[in-house]
């Protein structure tokens, strides 16, 4: 690289470093030219505030049910106190008539 190109790159890098340092608060504002009055800075006093602690709540866990011989979506939904529609939606069942022994069904938590 020739000398002029190196000087231009160096100047750009220094400009970028100074801008970054000002953004991060590492340098003050640029000095003002003679005769200009700087704009006063506004400062805020931080006061501690009360932040309530989050309350812990139990996260509902989805159970797994293995389909047994003679069971249907209706009988399984009754066993867990949920609707057939909830059972279908929790398992993305497109054709509920294809339920087979050994299928694992996700049982959604009951609504309060």
Q: Among the residues of 1-112, which ranges form H helices? A: 3-23, 73-80, 84-90
Could you give the 3-state DSSP secondary structure of residue 63? strand
Residue 35 Rama label (left phi>0; alpha psi -120 to 50; beta): left
Q: Is residue 25, in this structure, part of any structural domain at all?
A: yes
Provide the pLDDT for residue 65.
Answer: 96
Q: Is residue 82, in this structure, part of any structural domain at all?
A: yes
**Whole-prediction pTM value?**
0.47
Q: Which domain holds residue 11?
A: 1-29
Q: Which band of pLDDT confidence, cut at 50, 70 and 90, is reported for residue 32? A: low
Give 53-88 pLDDT, tens digit per residue: 888 777 777 899 999 999 999 999 999 999 999 999
Q: Is residue 23, in this structure, part of any structural domain at all?
A: yes
Domain tally for the chain?
Answer: 2
């Amino acid at each position: 690289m020739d000398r002029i190109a190196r000087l231009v790159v160096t100047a750009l890098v220094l400009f970028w470093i100074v801008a970054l340092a000002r953004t991060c608060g590492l340098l003050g504002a640029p000095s003002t030219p003679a005769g200009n009055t700087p704009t006063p800075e506004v400062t805020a006093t931080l006061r501690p505030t009360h932040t309530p602690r989050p309350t812990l709540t139990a996260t509902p866990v989805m159970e797994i049910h293995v389909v047994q011989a003679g069971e249907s979506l209706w009988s399984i939904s009754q066993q867990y106190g949920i609707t057939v529609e909830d059972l279908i939606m929790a398992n993305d069942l497109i054709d509920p008539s294809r339920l087979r022994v050994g299928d694992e069904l996700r049982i959604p938590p009951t609504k309060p």
